[in-house]
Structure 1
Amino acid sequence: MSQSDGLAVGEKAPDFEATFVTPDGDTAQMRFSRLLAERPILLNFYTMDFSPDCVSEWCSFRDFEWFTSNDDVGVVGISKSGPTMHRRFIDSLNLKYPLYADTDLKISEAFEVDYRAMGLFRRARRSCFLIDTDRTVRYKWLGDHWLDPTRDTPPVDEIHQAIVRELGGEAEPAF
């Protein structure tokens, strides 16, 4: 599978429905457009729960307090891990973010971030999309390292600055 650049900024994000695991333990089918009715969403694709690179990624979002203290944008994760693993991942890392289960990678495919690692294992490319309430992609970040995703960590400060720039407000320094 060739490398894709994912959905472009300005493109309409697809709507989808998938199993959604919340930090308080609820699991249900959730339509993405329902989340967007409340506020813009920073949708974060990652390979799978408990891989070292993903633990690092989610800890950086958790530890950057702006993402948990700001109600202007929601942070939502999505990976091929199933609901039971998501529940353990949320509990283990004390995450405040809900996670979608994309077990068949159809959502990753719709966002054009699915690929085969070493031509064998299908997974989602590490990526972040800021999507406004009209489902328009306002910002994206794509990991550069196809074979070694541990070398990519989403730039939390850059993402924060993009959210402030795209959605308004005053930027605070990340650290």
Structure 2
Amino acid sequence: MSLSDPPSHPGDPLDVGDPAPEFAETLVTPEGDTREASLSELLDNPVLLSFYTVDFSPDCIEEWCAFRDFDWFASGEQVNVVGVSKSGPRLHRRFIDRLDLGFPLYADTDLAISESFGVAYRTFGLFRRSRRSCFLVDEEGVIRYRWLGEHWLDPTRDTPPVDELHEAVRAEIGDDPETFGF
């Protein structure tokens, strides 16, 4: 693995080609399990980490419903989709159940994961949260795609471009639509 320590310039988002930082945090699965899990444990396939603010905010519901509704995200056979937010394990469990999500969610309650990827910020200078962003990490732990929300006032209002994410994943795993499920 080429997973590394956080970037040398905290606050700068990681970029394509950078090694993803290794971390271990509480992961809540759709099957009901809650356990400590590292990023390297998930790298049997490329991992799409989707950072978002908190569970049950309207913009996050829209994002995760869009991911859920695209079967290629849900296949789990060629890419592991994993959410990361400040919400805790109990709220994640309710969020997964309410939206019928097929994706695990990391509880980044202290924003350590967000900080290591350079996407933690203060909204309106007050409240710490994760900047809406996505990172596609290959099996070697290298970032192959990055999307950052860019709304001028509140980055939580941006929605990841699902078509662009789809193309990035296809480029990483190959272009076989028969098995991709899209």
Q: TM-score, normalised by structure 1?
A: 0.92
Does structure 2 retain, via aligned residues, the 8 Å contact 1:125–1:146? no
Give CA deviations for 1:50-100 in whole Å, capped at 9, x if unaligned: 000000000000001111135111100000000000000000000000000
- Give SS of 2:172's match: helix
Coordinate RMSD, CA, aligned:
1.9
SS at match of 1:165: helix
Partner deviation per Cα, 1:21-76 (whole Å, 9 max, x = no partner): 0001100101110111x111000000000000000000000001111135111100
Residue 10 (1) aligns with residue 21 (2): no
User: What is the CA–CA distance in structure 2 between the aligned matches of 1:152 and 1:90, rounded to whole Å?
Assistant: 21
Q: Which amino acid aligns with 1:116?
A: R
Secondary structure in structure 1 of the residue aligned to 2:94: helix
Name the residue aligned to 1:105: 111
Residue 66 of structure 1 corresponds to which residue in structure 2?
72
What is the SS of the residue equivalent to 1:49? coil
> More displaced, 144-153 or 11-20?
144-153
Equivalent of residue 85 in structure 2, options 71, 79, 86? 79
Cα separation, partners in 2 of 1:162 and 1:50, compared to 1, 3 Å: same
Q: What amino acid maps onto 2:35 in structure 1?
A: A
Among candidates 131, 151, 158, match of residue 164 of structure 2: 158
Unaligned runs of 5+ in 2: 1-10
Partner of 2:145: 139
Question: With structure 2 as the length reference, what TM-score do the two structures score?
Answer: 0.88
Moved more, 54-63 or 4-13: 4-13
Amino acid across the alignment from 2:32: G
Structure 1, gaps ≥5 residues long: none
Letter in 2 for 1:14: P
Aligned length: 171
Structure 2 counterpart of 1:20: 27
What displacement does 1:140 show? 0.6
2:53 aligned with 1:47: yes
CA distance in 1, matches of 2:85, 2:128: 11
Distance 1:168 1:40 in 2: 12
**Residue 15 of structure 2 aligns to which amino acid in structure 1?**
A
2:130 to 109, 124, 127: 124
Partner Cα distance (1:32, 1:165) in 2: 21
Contact 1:52 1:150 in 2 (8 A): no
SS in 1 for 2:82: strand
Distance 1:158 1:5, change over 3 A: farther
Three-state SS of the structure 1 residue aligned to 2:66 is: helix
Name the SS of the counterpart of 2:109 in structure 1.
coil
8 Å contact 2:17–2:142 — kept in the other structure? yes
